[in-house]
Structure 1
Amino acid sequence: MELLDEAHTNHFGVPEPVQITQNRVEGKAIVVTGHNLFALEELLKQTEGKDINIYTHSEMLPAHGYPQLKKYKHLKGNIGKAWYDQRRLFEKFTGAILATTNCVMPIKGSYSDRFFSYDIAGLEGVQKIENDDFTTLIQKTLELPEVHMESDEQLVTGFHHNTVLSLAPEIIDAVKKGKIKRFFVIAGCDAPGKGGEYYRELATSLPPETVILTTSCGKFRFNDVDYGVVPGTEIPRYIDLGQCNNSISTVKIAAALADAFQCEVNELPVSIVLSWFEQKAVAILLGLFSLGIQDIRIGPKAPEFISAGVLDVLQETFGLKLITNAAEDMAMMLS
């Protein structure tokens, strides 16, 4: 994760907080889903000056914070939420679609003729972009009618551990004065179903003296809320650190705070609540275990491939907990 973060920041610059439009689309348009920022950059280069607007979906949302991507004026905003709304969303969005790495759903609907895959992402019966040549995608976009989707929604993204650590003196002072009582890392992969409602209930119920750190597509359960700032400070209560690949930022922030307070990470006023759906989230969880981080909560339920015996070991060794209900868990974490 650290190497990937370095690859992104060395090439695209360190992300900067930004507010963008959500679900507002105009003109000839392409939406990019997946995770591949390098594919997005190449598309932005090749569409510049062609009166085509580019929009992000799901885990591509953090692209808007990177200086070398947001410099392109035709990178406009985000549409949709987590990966599993693709079929409904792509029927409503009548422009062209580019699917990059991971989280691509088999097509059910009428959009296959305007759907393009990239690199290792692919589906049967759709066109594939080869050698970073987006000519066919661009031509298709120009043939399609203009897209019009109206919305007043906005989202905030673009934080990075370097951004947050630049506020370290203010954060440390706020903790010492009791203005910040606890940090909550609410992150991970979202999945369809009511189980994910827990994370919204938790995030929106937290008292104002708390700060939410998030990554991954699980944030779409609660990132439409304006959380404001910690009372008596200018510190934002909601900090979106990027893709699942950016989970290293939460570790770096925790390590810096532990160093500042001269304590262990597990002694910090930090609670970690993760949602999981696939192997990547589990790999991130194992990475946290390797750093000795304990008392993590996961949900909406335990992974099916973890036996009762293995779960017992993880609970005994690392204090791993399964989520119950948001109100009870919040009370326990705040106590």
Structure 2
Amino acid sequence: MADSEKMVPTKVLPTADVYPKRIMEYIEGFLISKTLFTSCELGVFDVLLGSERSLSAEEISQAVGASLDGTERLLAACTGMQILNRHQVDGKVSYSNTEQARLFLTRSSPLSLYQSIHYHSKTIYLCWHYLTDAVREGRNQYEKAFGVSSGDLFEAIYRSDVEMVKFMQLMHSIWNICGKDVVTAFDLSPFKVICDLGGCSGALAKHCTSAYPECTVTIFDLPKVVHMSKKHFIKEDDQRISFHEGDFFKDSLPEAELYILARILHDWTDERCVELLQRIYKACKPGGAVLVVEALLNKDGSGPLTTQLYSLNMLVQTEGRERTDVQYAALLTAAGFTNIRHCLTGKIYDAVLGHKKA
């Protein structure tokens, strides 16, 4: 066949009915987040919780101190997002909380995610404005977002007492949702003396003492975090939970049978993780263990999407990354731990357990 007669691939043009639904949803995803953030910040769900009946847009607008037009649009969007119920009787429209909104979006609920939402809106959202810079530079963006140096990571994260409490409230609300699952992913009852490194508000410590009545838990954290935890989160009369002030990279660690690292290792580089795990191995009693609580990536890194996005957040906010169970096992092995297992909880956070030989 002559060159002029060779077949030329036909260019296939998209048909008129092709619609990039998923891409459009991704483009507009931040609109949903900010609608949720604003509804919480205004107190829409709290106003509805405090009423014995559904409320009109006008009543809600007056209660939250917002314009009627803006409130009507916000309530319509929340209804479309299925976090508010819309009622229409005799031509009059009113609104009420869905069960999910009542449980997770009202401030007074024991399962409230309000503080987590507030932290995402006021801190994480601002950091993500500089995601492009983070990807290009390969480092966090605290200096651009907040004008503070991230030379000392947690000095940046805890850049004010207000910001520190916000971060602690974020952690507290997350463990209210996921804490029981991670501390019961493995049977930890053989370990009576537990140390929760970076234990923050003490929410996970409370889950431990609830699930394992014979254990005691020491929360090890920076002095200012311990102070805030005692002030806002942990009652002094809880005899099974105690505190130890220090920096786990610099100061001696309390001897324990089990150490918990919950959302700690993902903040740091591999080198820093091994350094911390070696310190834990040295302090750990023979036959003891370390429980690593993190959002695990699939072995090939293909998902879950939420964890992949969390890894981007670690780039924007910290020095670390999310990892697979194999990668965490490698870090634990490098520090001396053996018999390493992992457990997927079915929620955001999973568990990896490594042992020290008796």
Q: Relative contact order (alpha carbons < 8 A, sep ≥ 6): 1 or 2 greater?
A: 1
Higher fraction of helix: 2
TM-score, scaled to structure 1:
0.30
TM-score, scaled to structure 2:
0.29
